[in-house]
Amino acid sequence: MSNPPCRIAWSLRPSNLAPILALAIATAAACGRPAEPPREAAGAPAAAPEAGAAASPGEAPAATAAPAAPDAAAPDLANLLEAHAAMAAALYDGGKGAEAERVYRGLLEQAPDHVASLVGLSQILVDRGDLDGAGAAVDRALKANPQSAPALQQKVIVLIAGDHGKEAVAAAEGAVRAHPDSPALQAALGDAERAFGDVPKAIAAYRKASSLNPQWAPGFTKLGEALAENGDAAEAQKALQRALALNPESYPAYRALARLQYDNGAPSQAVTSWEAAVRLQPERGEAHEGLAAALLAAKRPADARTHAVTAQRLGRDVTGLMKQIDAASK
């Protein structure tokens, strides 16, 4: 079965075939499978999208299309860039940051000012600790489109990562003024207020984000995290359960719930939540580390060791945790 994020619907014309095939090769490499030229390129009729698969916005039956004007390639390439950027975002969300980075960098070779790719690359660089690179990428995105809501949100993320809480709050407030109906930017304001140390203001921003879109799971996840930080465990649990009801495959919500349960003396429940998080993203070292700590607290040191070793293999420093497991195993 093919990986859904790697399934791309194609629309080709001779004038944009070369860059599209270059992107196809980069995408196939990132997805870990051989590149296949689009069927239209070989003269075969276009394949119909599978049930439930989204087609590119500009897709049209190739067999009946009239010859394209020379400038008609631009919309096709723009649609393809967006489709690939969405695929890279899905790879990143699935814990495959290296694969996502390869796709983003391939896109930027074709379109150096592609905003979605710059924003996605910026987040990967934040995760790596390369804040200079992350800042440069998001600044390029904002230069290309100063009103881009995702780029404005990413700017706040970069400022928070650099411990520039006051500047992050100012940037988030400006973003909210530009896009007052954006739940993501309201949540970014909450993130900035929380980083600046004003948890009550963060909670208010997260509540606003959740009211703007009551079906948006991340808003409830962030609200739950802030409520937990503010000492309101019962309300935090309600918010996180709401997030999971909206999206049962939300890794951040399971992670937040597991931490809440662990901190409130319910290690067996935390084990269950961390196990769900590990199932969703088995290559996340922090999930294995959290599960190991919960298993140790639940008096299961042998199982804890297994996940601590996995966390270590995935790059986590679990030296202290391993010492605790060793002590509990004697």
Average pLDDT over residues 126-138: 97
Average pLDDT over residues 105-129: 95
The pLDDT score that the predictor gives to residue 24 is 54
Q: Give the N- to C-terminal CA distance of the chain in Å, as an integer.
A: 46
Average pLDDT over residues 298-318: 97
Q: Residue 260: which H helix or E strand, with range? A: helix 251-263
Average model confidence (pLDDT) across the chain:
83
Residue 147 — φ and ψ, nearest 5°? -100, 10
Q: Tokens in use for 171? A: 């940037």
Question: Which residues are CB-contacts of 192 (< 8 A; sequence separation ≥ 6)?
Answer: 156, 159, 160, 165, 168, 169, 171, 172
Least confident of 20-29, 199-208, 276-285, 317-326: 20-29
The per-residue pLDDT for range 45-68, each reduced to its tens digit, is: 333 322 333 333 232 333 333 334
Q: Is 266 within 8 Å of 282 (Cβ atoms)?
A: no
Q: Is 321 within 8 Å of 292 (Cβ atoms)?
A: yes
Query: For the whole prediction, is pTM greater than 0.95?
Result: no
Q: Is the pLDDT of residue 28 over 60?
A: no
Q: Tokens in use for 326? A: 């060793």
d(CA 63, CA 61): 6
The per-residue pLDDT for range 156-211, each reduced to its tens digit, is: 999 999 999 999 999 999 999 999 999 999 999 999 999 999 999 999 999 999 99
Average pLDDT over residues 116-145: 97
**Percent of the chain at pLDDT exceeding 90:** 72
The per-residue pLDDT for range 224-244, each reduced to its tens digit, is: 999 999 999 999 999 999 999
Q: Is the pLDDT of residue 308 over 90?
A: yes
- Of 303, 301, 246, 302, nearest to 278 by C-alpha is 303
Range 117-142 burial, b when 16+ CB lie within 10 A, else e: bbbbbbbbbbeeeebebbbbbbbbbb
Q: Is the pLDDT of residue 215 over 80?
A: yes
Give the 3-state secondary structure of 132-154.
Answer: HHHHHHHHHHHHHCCCCHHHHHH
Range 40-76 burial, b when 16+ CB lie within 10 A, else e: bbeeeebeeeeeeeebbebbeebeeeeeeeeeebeeb
Q: Is the pLDDT of residue 142 over 90?
A: yes
CB count in 10 Å sphere of residue 163? 10
Q: Is the pLDDT of residue 147 over 60?
A: yes
d(CA 287, CA 277): 6
Q: What is the DSSP letter of 64?
A: G
* Max Cα–Cα distance, the chain, nearest Å: 77
d(CA 86, CA 156): 21
More confident position, 33 or 24? 24
- Of 123, 108, 127, nearest to 153 by C-alpha is 123
Angular region, 299: left φ>0, alpha ψ -120 to 50, beta rest = left
More confident position, 35 or 224? 224
Whats the size of the chain, residue-wise?
330
pLDDT band at 5, cuts 50/70/90? very low
Average pLDDT over residues 296-301: 98
Q: Is the pLDDT of residue 316 over 50?
A: yes
d(CA 116, CA 81): 9
Range 219-230 burial, b when 16+ CB lie within 10 A, else e: bbbbbbbbbbee
Tokens 């929380």: give the residue.
Answer: 194
